[in-house]
Structure formats: C-alpha cells, structure tokens
Amino acid sequence: MAMAMDCRSVFPGRGGIGRYAENLARRMPDLGSEDYVLFTTNRQQERICNASNVQQISFDCGMIDASWEQLQLPAILEDYAIELYHNPCFSLPVAKEKAKLVATIHDVVFRERPDMVEKRLCEYLNQWTEVACKVADCVIAVSEYSKKQLVNFYGIESSKVEVIYNGIDKKFRRAQKEEQEKAKKRYRLPQDFIMYLGAIEPKKNLDRLLDAQRIVKEKHPECFLAIAGGKGPMDYDLEKAIRVRRLENSVAVIGYVEEQDIVPLLSAARVFVYPSLYEGFGFPPLEAMACGTPTIVSDATSLPEVVGDGAKVVATQDSEGLAVTIETFLLDEEEAKDYAVKGKERASLFTWEECVEKTWKLYQRIARKPERKA
C-alpha cells in the first residue's frame, strides 16, 4: 500500500504541527512494509526520514496553500498511486478520487473564538475544516475537547473522529544542575524564577499572569518572572503590559529560546505557569511537567484534560487565585515536590510511540488492511 503524508509543516523553525508531522513521518515507516511518500515544500531541504520505503518530494507551495491542495494535489495522488493521504494540518482536497483521506484537526479556535485568530487565517481554516469534515474518511483530534467542538460546530459524526493524543519528546527530563546554571547565566536569570514559555499573543492570557506576578511581588519582592517565546500571529504589546504594572524590575522578556536551552530552563524554574485561554492540546505544560517542575495551567479548553492531576488548575480570569497557587508552590516545599512527582508521572503517559502506533492502526483500519506484521 502506498501512503502519502503531508509534511509541508516540517521546515526550519517549525511549530507544534510541524513537530507532530515530523514524528509521524520518521516513526511510521518502521511499523510495516508500506511505501510512504512525504510531501514537503521547497523550504525543507533535508530528508525527514532515511528509511528505504520512504520517498520525499518537494513542491513549490506553502504550508497553507488552497490552490495547490485543490488544483494540483488530486492529480499528484493519482500519479503516485496513493491509497491513503494524511494531512496533519487541517485541510483536504475536495476531489477525493481513489485515495482514502485523513486529516488531523488540532483545534477549532478559529470557529469557537474567532477574536483570537487573524481574520483571513480564521476564514481560511474555518472553510477548509468544514470541507475536511465532509470528505475525510476519518478526522484525528488531539484531545477529547477538540473532538467535542468538531462535532458541535461542524456536525461531523462522532464515530468519524478519532482522539489520538500527541507525544512528548524524550529529551524532556530533569536537566543536571550544571546545565541549569549555564542556561540561567546565558539568559541572565536569577537563582529563583517563575517561567512562562509559549507564543506571545492575546490568546495566552499573559495579562492574568502579570497581574498575579504583581500580587505575589507585594509579599515577596524577590519573586521574578521569566517570559520566553516568540511573537505570535496576533499583536500583543507585552512591554507595555509590563510597564503599566510597573514590573520592569521583576519580569524578564527573554524571547526565543534556543532548542538546547529549553530543557535546562524548564528544569531550573521554581514554577511553570501556562494561563492560556485556548489550546487544542498544549505541549508546554506537559514538557515542564516532564522536567519535574511544578506546573499551573488555566481551566480552559483541553488543558485540564491533558494535565490531569499532574498540575494545578486555576480559573482563567482569577489573577488572585493564580497568585495564591504560585505562592503555595514557592513556600510549601512538600506541595512542590508532590506536584513535581505527579507531573512527571502524568507526562510519561504521552509518548510519540503510542501516538504513531495508534495512527498506524487507524490507517490500516481505514484502508481495510491486516494488522501489523509480526
């Protein structure tokens, strides 16, 4: 059987969808004798997978490119005799032809909270998600919450939506003290600090985190907050938000963090806080938990489902409650240790091996092929 996986989201600087597609593409060929074709853009110069049953083909198109998907892709699937095509990034071709079609729809924030998405992107994703729900043989959701919202907003039959959780890379583990100290020095951080890591955009609810920091700082002047991450697609003036709260001396905006420094910084933080208003899954809290750092998330969307009992959950608009929870972790050593252990245990349940295995079995079921070879 010839399978095609769309890897246009895999390119230098890739985000969460790109990491998801990359893990599927690298691991899937080990599970059976199928031939795989990986579709990439010209931005991806390196081979994603070197297995002998994998062919990688680059196209002059974008990660989000309706004209390529609708006008060129159907003929490409025919030319390569593709029997099953999986796009890990929402959209599918209307002209179905012979190939079975699978799409992963990570969230529907563009439908549920359009105020959080740039208008043109919002319209695009809404349109093609509606199409994907109609033409797909199966849709993969990365959380039960996302599945529920797909059914609610797009009327897709529940039986057509399969929940398969993302995995956490094995590199996320407690870093050695020496690694932590080097990372803190590189980013000019104090011995003790609270940390946020994620996109800098309104959806991430950083106003509430800054409000909580101001409250905690009144009792604990040494309390320091590090905000890490690149700018998101929606404008948010973080510097102004810090300035109006007079937090210039107790908040560091460290921006993009080099890949090799993420684990040491997450490990070094006393507390990790992720107060996001909307997530289809939510990688950063699990990654912090895997590093043994006590973690706090908001009660929004998929986050309580994903972190389970491995993190503290606080209401999205409750700055005072968030401040109290941060303070508890800072002052109560036993509580912090307890959540460090529970967080690591919870994060260990999310592996790429299980994600890929479940996805592979889904392919087989849709294509009506026998189970995995012995």
The domain spans of the chain are: 2-167+351-367, 177-347
Q: What CATH fold (topology level) applies to the domain 2-167+351-367?
A: Rossmann fold (3.40.50)
At residue 374 the predicted structure's pLDDT band, cuts being 50, 70 and 90, is: very low
For the structural domain made of 177-347, what CATH number should be given? 3.40.50.2000
pLDDT, tens digit, 9 for 90 and up, residues 10-24: 887 677 888 899 999
Q: In whole angstroms, what is the distance from residue 87 CA to residue 359 CA?
A: 12
Q: Give residue 370's pLDDT.
A: 46
Structure tokens at 125: 């994703």
Q: Rounded to two decimals, what is the model's pTM?
A: 0.92
Residues in Cβ contact with 81 at an 8 Å cutoff, skipping those fewer than 6 apart: 2
Task: Return the C-alpha torsion angle 156, 158, 159, 162, nearest 10.
Answer: 100
pLDDT, tens digit, 9 for 90 and up, residues 316-360: 999 999 999 999 999 999 999 999 999 999 999 999 999 999 999
Locate tokens 């996320």: which residue? 172
Say yes or no: do domains 2-167+351-367 and 177-347 share a fold: yes
pLDDT, tens digit, 9 for 90 and up, residues 27-49: 998 887 789 999 998 877 789 99
Q: In whole angstroms, what is the distance from residue 252 CA to residue 228 CA?
A: 8
